[in-house]
Amino acid sequence: MAKLVKNVMESDLSQSIVEIKDVTFSRGDRIIYKNMSFNIPKGKITAIMGPSGIGKTTMLRLIGGQLKPDSGDILFEGNSIPGMTRKELYAARTKMSMLFQSGALFTDMSVFDNIAFPLREHTQLSEDLIRLVVLMKLQAVGLRGAQDLMPSELSGGMARRAALARSIALDPELIMYDEPFAGQDPISMGVLVKLIKSLNEVLGLSSLIVTHDVTEVMSIADHVIIIADQGVIGEGSPEQMQNHESELVQQFLNGLSDGPVPFHFPAPAYDDELLGVHNA
Amino acid sequence: MLDLFQKLGHKTLGRFAALGRSTQMLFGALVNMPNFKKGTPLLIRQLYMVGSQSLLIIMVSGLFIGMVLALQGYTVLVGYGAEDSLGPLVALSLLRELGPVVTALLFAGRAGSALTAEIGLMKATEQLSSLEMMAIDPLKRIIAPRFWAGFISMPLLALIFSAVAIIGAHLVGVDWLGVDSGSFWSIMQAQVSFQQDIVNGMIKSFVFAMIVTWIALYKGYDCVPTSEGISKATTETVVHSSLAVLGFDFILTAVMFTS
Amino acid sequence: MNSRKLEILVGFFVALGIAAFALLAFKVANAGISGSGETYQLNAKFENIGSLKARAPIKVGGVVVGRVESIFIHPKEFVPVVNMAIDANYLCKFSDTTSISILTSGILGEQYLGINPVIAPDSAEKRCMGEDVTASADDAGLDDLFGVESKALADGDYITDTKSALVLEELIGQFLFNQGGE
């Protein structure tokens, strides 16, 4: 039985919405990824985890085409993102959406107008129809009552939910969440976890969550990818990851303060520095 | 010594790179004309933000500058018995120099800094990235309407400034100090040429409008998206655009008013 | 803010700008005469132009009819030549016997050009305008009086009868010379 489940999962995984192939990316002299490859399965919740500063948000920007890799290829539904013309890229972007860490609601519009914005820009729908769609999306995130508020009047968790409503306004195929749980209280966090899971099931879209909140994401993710040291160090279902043999994976998942990722920032020997020995 | 050259080289290259990026930004914003149905409300909104909202400061400053010019001019001219020339003195200095220049400086402080801060904040709160991810070009949606609004508003503001200042000068010169109203206007009319003074002043104003709006938008668009970066960018907008306006004013004056 | 209020405020702003433009153009610059109106060119050679400058007004009996366009040295004769732009309404109205002098307005005032006009006879005006006319009896009489055929000044012509600016040093020199002679 267990074997059967595994087989089913693997056949699902073979259908990928995004494929990262041999990507190398550097900022200035600093190499962020080196020959990294992984796939993001279609219709699943995939979590990318890793210590902070490892370039997880950069990954989303690469998939969104805002950045270009130094080498390698990124495929979205089989088409190469870095190789697209501007027009093709914009067409591809209408099929994906991104939930930014800060929500990125437009501060000069009400919540209603924020959610209507992508519809007004990209569709020819009448105002009546737009109103209907917006109310549906707001209902889905539980903010129908807040439609006339300005973004500045929303709490952090509500702003993120409103932004989520905006990112599903055009019914995308892929939603990318950038640190959706960062800085949220336990209640909003619970609400967001539930929302992400139910949206994924109801709308049949693929979700990609970038985060370092291990417990929340392990509870909803179908597929987990852990990035560290310029590449993927572990990949698989949450259960597989819990039993992963890599020390680094274990350190990250269990939140140990010292291990392969050292507690100390690289520094000269402690004794030497205290005694004032300088190596010129 | 080599370090010095290296520093100089680094700075120069940095400046050129910034110039390139800013040109790219402006070009990207202006190259396709925006769709009029969607663009007009955006433009109107920005005209309100940069134009109508700057009206008060421009009119008040204009009134006072006109009054001061009249007062100062009168005390000098009356010594030569030439107080009738107060009209052309005020009108020419306003139309050729003070109108365009002071308006540009005030505009940089009032509207330019606001533009930089607004766009910087949009960048910091990822609104620009978010637009891009929604397949909407932020250059067209955010930068272009603001640029056109600045470009249209500033010459209008400069005209209003000059007109109000001349009214202010009339108030002080004629109504208070007793210069003859007839000679105030008629000598002014004899000395001021539409082509030479008003049109050239407006050309200056258009040039300044482009410079100030461009610098303000670029500084916001290119700022480091942190609170410190935005405050730095806002300061830079005011400083750089003021210096650029004064520098270009000299060049334009040299070209226009020397034969 | 609703869009109607926004549009009203922007409209107010633009209207104010246009009003300011109108005030400057008509009240301050009097665009009617000295502005972009049609002009034609006349030239005059002087011995000395004093401190006459480009853009100085040209007046007939105190009324401005044009402005000095440029001042340059005649390449062969080496005397200053003043190039003037005159209102096109006066094209072919002045006769070639018209004289022009450099005058000063007030004691410290700017120098300007004063034209003492001699009105061109109708026939000369018509000839100048390119019309073919045979001289009428009246004009023939006038021509005889001066002993030459009178001609109207057209675009690009020279005014030959010119009076230079008064230069203070020359005046004093002349005065002393005359004193010495007596």
Q: Are C34 and B194 within 8 A, CB to CB?
A: yes
Question: E-assigned strands of B49-159?
Answer: none
Q: Report residue A11's pLDDT band, with 50, 70 and 90 as the boundaries.
A: very low
CA angle at A140 for the pair A138 and A146, rounded to the nearest 5°: 30
**CA distances to B259, C91, C127, C145 from C150, in Å:** 36, 15, 11, 10
Chain C partners within 8 Å of B49 (Cβ): none
- The residue among C151 and A47 whose pLDDT is bigger is A47
Alpha helices in chain C (DSSP H): 3-22, 31-34, 122-128, 137-146, 168-181
- The residue among B67 and C51 whose pLDDT is bigger is B67
Q: Are C54 and B259 within 8 A, CB to CB?
A: yes
Q: Give the tokens for residue C46.
A: 């002087």
C64 touches chain B (CB under 8 A): yes
Q: Give the tokens for residue A253.
A: 């998942």
Q: Report residue A280's pLDDT band, with 50, 70 and 90 as the boundaries.
A: very low
Per residue in A47-57, pLDDT (tens digit) is: 888 777 777 78
Q: Give the tokens for residue A38.
A: 């992984």
Residue of A nearest to B125 (CA): A104
d(CA B25, CA B146): 13
Q: Are B188 and C31 within 8 A, CB to CB?
A: no
Residue of B nearest to A92 (CA): B135
The average pLDDT across B124-128 equals 88
Selected residue of C2, C3, C10, C63 to mutate for chain B interface (largest B Cβ count, 10 A): C10
Q: Give the tokens for residue B199.
A: 């049109």
d(CA C60, CA C114): 6
Q: What are the boundaries of each domain within chain B?
A: 32-258
Q: What percentage of chain A reaches a pLDDT higher than 90? A: 2
Coil/strand/helix, residue C45? strand
Chain B partners within 8 Å of C21 (Cβ): 159, 163
Chain B partners within 8 Å of A104 (Cβ): 125-127, 129-130
User: Do C10 and B47 form a contact (C-beta atoms < 8 A)?
Assistant: yes
- Provide the residue type at A2 as one letter: A
Q: Are B52 and C12 within 8 A, CB to CB?
A: yes
- Which range is least confidently modeled, A74-88, B184-198, C97-111? C97-111
Closest CA relative to residue B86, chosen from B198, B180, B195: B180
**Following DSSP, what letter does each residue of B171-230 receive, concatenated?**
IIIIIIT---HHHHHHHHHHH--IIIIIIHHHHHHHHHHHHHHHHHHHHHHTS-SSHHHH
C27 touches chain B (CB under 8 A): yes
Coil/strand/helix, residue A126? coil
pLDDT for res C35: 45
- Give me the residue label for tokens 């006319």: C133
C108 touches chain B (CB under 8 A): yes
- Provide the residue type at B6 as one letter: Q
Q: Report residue C138's pLDDT band, with 50, 70 and 90 as the boundaries.
A: low
pLDDT for res C37: 65
Coil/strand/helix, residue A53? coil
Per residue in C31-62, pLDDT (tens digit) is: 544 445 678 888 898 888 887 877 778 888 88
Closest CA relative to residue B125, chosen from A191, A89, A160: A160
The most confident of the ranges A100-104, B48-52, B238-242 is B238-242
Question: Which residues is A225 bridged to in the sheet?
Answer: A48, A235
Coil/strand/helix, residue C109? coil
CB atoms within 10 A of CB A278: 7
pTM of the predicted protein model: 0.74
Average pLDDT, chain B: 90
Q: Report residue A279's pLDDT band, with 50, 70 and 90 as the boundaries.
A: low
